Structures are given as C-alpha cells and as structure tokens.
A and B are shown apart, each in its own frame.
Chain A
Amino acid sequence: MSEQQNKKSSANSKEAPTYRLNAQWSGLWKVFAVLAALGLAGAAAGYSSNPTRFAYSWLFGFLVAVTIAIGAMMWVLIQYLTSAGWSVTVRRTAEFFGSGTVVFLALVVPVILTMNTTFAGWLHVGAHHEGGAEAPHAAVIMGESSMLAQVEHTDSAHPAPSQAMPAVADHAAPAPAGHGAVLGHAAHATVREDPEELLEQEIMSRKTWWLNKNFFIARSVFYVLVWFGLGSWLLRRSILQDTSKDVKLTAGTASMAPVATIFLAFTLTGGAFDWIMSLEPSWYSTIFGVNFFASSFVAIHAVLILTLMSMRSSGMLVKEVTVEHFHDLGKMQFGFLVFWAYISFSQFMLIWYAGIPEETTWYHRRWDVGPWAPVGLALVGLHFVVPFFLIISRNFKRKLGWLKLGAGIILTMHVVEIYWFVMPNLPKQDDFAFSWIDAACLLGAVGAYLAVVFRNMASHSLIPVGDPRLSRALKFQNA
C-alpha cells in the first residue's frame, strides 16, 4: 500500500480504506483465466467437430467481449468530455473494463482465420469477377417457391455477377420480398435470371471495394489495435495520476478525448459493419453502427452496476460508490436503454414499411426462418419493456435490489442480442439449436477478456486517488 493512500485515508476516516481488491477478489482473475482455458479448450474441440459452427460461435463470443470493452472506453471518454465530477469513483472500474482490449489482439485471429466460413457471402465475389462469368444460381432458385430457399443460398458461395448481364438494376429493382409479385415481375422481365438474385449480384459488385479479403483483414487488425491503444492509454494515464497527482494528466486526457471519441465511433461502426452486417453482405442499414453502439453502451452500464454492487457487498468502495452514484448510473442506463429501443425500432420500422428486398433480408432471416421469432420478441420484452418499467422510477433506481435486477436482465439480454445478431446467419437454420460450442466460445472469449480486466483490477487502486475531482465524487449527491 502506498504512503499517499494511507495518508489520505487517515485524513478521511478512522479505519483506513485501502481502495484495493480484497483477498477474495484479488485472485478472481485466475478463476476467469481457468474458465477461459476451459472455454478455449471446448472451442478447440468445437472447431474440430464442427468448424462452421465454431466460426459463428466464436464471432458471437468475441463480439460479446468487444461490446463491453467498447462501451467501457466510450463511457470513460464521455466522463472526460463532460468534465464529470460525480463519476470519478466509478471511472476506474470502467477503465479496467476498457483495458481488457489487449486480448482482442489474440481473440480476433480466429475471426480472421474462419472468414472463409462466416463471410463466404462476399468473400468470393471479387474472385469471381476476375475468373469471368460463372453459371448463376438463378435457374435453381427460379424453380423454388419459397423465399427461404433463395435467402439461404446466400450462405454458400455467392453467384458471380455475370458479365453477360447488362442493365441488371433496371429490371430488378422494385420487387418486394416474399411477395407473389416477385415471380410475376420476373415473368415480365426480359432477363432470364431471378431478379432478386440479379439485384443481389449488382449490390455485391458495388460493395467489393470495401468487402474484400485484404481490406477486411487490415480493418479488423486496425480496429483491435485502436481499441488496444485507447483502452491501455486511458488506464495508464489515470494510474500515472494516482502517484503523481498531476492535474495536467486530466487536462491532457480531456483534450484528447474528442479525437479519441471520433476514432472509437468510426472503429466501432466499422466493427459492426464488418463483423455483423457483412454476414448478410447485400443488406443495407446505415444506422446499424449506432445500434451496435447503443447495445454496447447499455451493456457497460449493466456491467458497471453489477460489478460495483458485488464489490460493495464484499466490503469494497462502500463509502466511495454510494446510492447516489448508482442512481446516476441507473439514469444513464435508463436513458440509453430507451435510446437502444428507439434506434432498434427505427431500423426495423423503416425496413418493414419500405419492404424492399435488399433491406428486408435481415429481418426475414430473424423472423421467418428457424427459431428466431420468439428471440426477437424476447428482445423487445426483456431488453426493453421489462427493464424500462423496472428502472423508470427514481425510487427503484435508488433501491439497489431493483437496479441490480434491471441490470442483470439487461446484461443477459445483451448477450442474447449479440447471439441474435450472429447466429441466424449460420447455414441450415431449420434444425437450429443452441450448441455447447456457443457456450464454450462465449466462455473462452469473455473469460479471457475478464481475466485481463480483473488482473489489472488486482494490481491498481480501485478509484483514481489522484484525480482533482475525486472529492466532488465522494461528496456527490443528487439534488
């Protein structure tokens, strides 16, 4: 224990608060490391038994960890952007969760290595271009009546945009998905192939400048490098201040925060586009990055609330993080929960109302195919309606049991949401069922991430003792 802390604590209270993890918690990172090892072993077994499943399951587990880390970094940056005083005692916990980004340098590797499976939908479009025209699948699809069959074809290799196919867009544009009109329209058109298939090819040929193998790998590496740099930088600056008490560190971080926020916003949008949207490469949704951010940001509030409450119940930060801080965390969580619902619903409603094929595929796959319709409804009910009423009231936000219940539901549903983002794109949805490979990958990725987070937590002070606004946070009260 450093001298400054002892000095400070003796001034503050009689029993010296240590601001360190207690013995019970300081070994927790080893537990997570063991769980991660078990999960990774399971994931490896999953890879050898079902490599396709592993590819999707790993993406799911990886994204759960990524969203929490992104949310944490954004949370810390917003505290600097707003010069927040109330949150100083909470901020270090968020910084720990942001510092876990270092593991993504390793966790992203399987995502890149399995891209032939997960991102086959666009990966071979460019190659086909070079190899010349191939026989399109259109003839096969024409014979089938269900939309399902057409959509599922996108999972296997995409047909090539044939060079012998001029003016594709003119003929194929306005066909509503799943309607009888599709076939009628096709019959009128002079083109032999299925119009939706042609549309998809046309769309894909326009997207190859972004969706190609080398650029994708470069971007994936770039994202995790940016997040690694940002997460480590935020924690390091804050820890330097623990001993130096230098106000310039706060000012310096605050002055860099706008730039860092822009970088984080662009990289998280890119991550959402590349790792989730490109599972459905012909899909358009300009708001999906915001949706992904909203998800992450709601999740980090749930993570912070649950972590800090657990810490308090084992005797740490009891006086430093009070009901006032939880009240504010609850307010932020509530606000961004509504934001998440607003964004998610806006995306859904516009796509539903317009009903144009290149947009409806996403929801078609998550409503008409496999077991996903109840999952989508569960997201509406349990990711929004139930927690909305649980934490809407000031009294409920200040009754920690209610807030904890709300945060627990939100975090669980966040994991379900990421599952719902990724898994409907797994081929052969008719007999879809939860697999132990999903659980192993989730455990492996999130366990590895948490092991680093709790390792950092064990070796540093739990609150930024050198922060100039610390006293404001300690005295903070909601008016």
Chain B
Amino acid sequence: MAADPKKTEASEHHAPAKPRPAGPIIIGPKELPAPPKAVAARKRTSLLLAEYSTPAKCLHAAEKLRDAGYKNFDAHTPFPVHGMDAAMGLPDSPLGYLVLCGGLTGVSIGVLMIWWMNGVDYPIIIGGKPGFTLPASVPIMFELTILLSAFAAVFGMFHLNRLPRHHHPIFESDRFRAASDDKFFVSVEAEDPKFDLKKTRVLLEATHADAIEAVEETVAGESPKEETH
C-alpha cells in the first residue's frame, strides 16, 4: 500500500478513449466562446514518467532514484512488487500507531461511558450485579476499540495517501493507463528538490526504461501564450 498510493487512483480512473485535447476541457456545445485571456491555459512539466516491462527493472529504477537522493517519486505497478518499500527507501508506515491510538481511545471511551452511565448517572441493578462492573463493560470496550481502530485505519490511510484527490497530472499520460494492466512505471515529481528535467531524464534513461515521458499539466497562467500547441 505504501509503495504506490496512487495505484488506486489509477485503477479507478477511466481515461477517455481519445487523447484529450490540449487546453481547457470544454463541456457543452463547441460553439461556446473561448475563455477569457486572463485565465488562458499554459503547459507545465509536472513529472517525468518512465515505463518498464518487468517488475525487476522498475525495482532497480526505484533503487537508483532512492540512491540519487530523490524523495518525491513513486512506483506504479499492476500488483504489489516484493521489496518495493525498501527499494524506494520508504520508512515504515505510521498507520499502525494511528490505529493503536484509535484503539486505546475506543477502549477508554468504552469504559468511561459505561462507568458514567451504569455506575454514576443512572445505575440499574440487573441480575443482582453492581451498576458498574468490568466484565459487563468488556463487550462495549471491545466494540469501541474495534470501531475506532477501524476508523483510524481507514481514514488514516486516506490521510496518508492524501486522499480524496480527484486528479493528478500523471493521468494526462495515455501511456500510464497500462499501470493497471501490464506495465510498470516510475514517476518523479517536478516538485522534488533534486528534479531537473535534463539530469533526471538522463538518470531514468540509465535504468533501461522502455519509454520516458515528460508529463505536462495544464495550469491557469498569468502570462498567456497561444491557446494551443
């Protein structure tokens, strides 16, 4: 999971059959006037995408990027590749600690709630048992532990994977659709401090990539150039 958080996005993304037109996507009749020049589109390279035909090549590429000091890169594979976490230099996921906190919160809330309700606020004697007792509270403590652990696991995973996120520039690449089928990808984000369009491309070329693509995203620009390329 930690290896490629964007994989789920990839598999859920249904790209259109035809390549997207450059420039802003216009929904509705074609005759609509072009958007005003102030928000005219411009292109920006947002990541470098390298395609591999085998998991081993992809794994080695990740190792090279890790060793070169890149942090903001990711691997996208159709199935989990063993050893990818180590190859990418990913630290252990902190999710377990989030779940532990959720569970401890649940067990505490459970015992406090039953203690307050049955022991203090409204004690009812049933079957000769005292208002508050531990054995009778355990099912509640257990259930709340499970519930809050599960919440922590699911929503913690969302948070760590920066979900929900509706779009990522990597989906601009048609090639990338094979990431959920039979190809293996490594992407390096332009935001990485070590990113350099030429140097990073050279590094990726040295990993025997089948193809390397500079994926551009369309952004609203301050200094408009032509509408289309």
Taking beta carbons and an 8 Å cutoff, which residues of A are in contact with B? Answer: 176, 179, 345, 348-349, 352-355, 392-395, 477, 479
Q: Which residues of B contact A348 (CB under 8 A)?
A: 135
Q: Which residues of B contact A393 (CB under 8 A)?
A: 96
Known: A477-B82, A477-B83, A479-B80. A355 touches B139 (CB 8 A): no
Count CB-based A-B contacts (< 8 Å).
25
**Shortest CB distance B2–A (Å):** 10
Partner of B139, one of A176, A349, A352, A354: A349
Known: A176-B128, A479-B80. A353 touches B96 (CB 8 A): no
**Shortest CB distance B195–A (Å):** 29
Closest to A348 in B: B135
Q: Complex: how many Å from CA A354 to CA B82?
A: 52
How would residues 121 to 137 of chain B score, 1 for a CB under 8 Å from any chain A CB and 0 otherwise?
00000011100000110
- A353 adjacent to B92 (CB under 8 Å): no
- A394 adjacent to B96 (CB under 8 Å): yes
Partner of A353, one of B82, B100, B127: B127
Known: A477-B83, A479-B82. A355 touches B136 (CB 8 A): no
A-B pairs with beta carbons under 8 Å apart, 22 shown: A176-B128, A179-B128, A348-B135, A349-B136, A349-B138, A349-B139, A352-B135, A353-B129, A353-B135, A353-B136, A354-B127, A355-B127, A355-B128, A392-B100, A393-B96, A394-B92, A394-B96, A395-B92, A477-B82, A477-B83, A479-B80, A479-B82
- B128 adjacent to A349 (CB under 8 Å): no
Q: Which residues of A contact B135 (CB under 8 A)?
A: 348-349, 352-353
Taking beta carbons and an 8 Å cutoff, which residues of B are in contact with A? Answer: 80, 82-83, 92, 96, 100, 127-129, 135-136, 138-139
Q: Complex: how many Å from CA A288 to CA B68?
A: 60
Closest to B1 in A: A479
Q: Complex: how many Å from CA A309 to CA B53?
A: 39
**Most B CB atoms within 10 A — which of A348, A354, A479?**
A479
Q: Complex: how many Å from CA A453 to CA B67?
A: 49
Q: Complex: how many Å from CA A345 to CA B80?
A: 38
Q: Which residues of B contact A477 (CB under 8 A)?
A: 82-83
Nearest first, the 4 closest Cβ-Cβ pairs linking A and B are A477-B82, A479-B80, A349-B135, A352-B135
Closest to B81 in A: A479
Q: Complex: how many Å from CA A9 to CA B158?
A: 46
Q: Complex: how many Å from CA A394 to CA B99?
A: 13
Q: Which residues of A contact B129 (CB under 8 A)?
A: 353
Q: Complex: how many Å from CA A434 to CA B179?
A: 65
Q: Which residues of B contact A179 (CB under 8 A)?
A: 128
**Shortest CB distance B193–A (Å):** 30
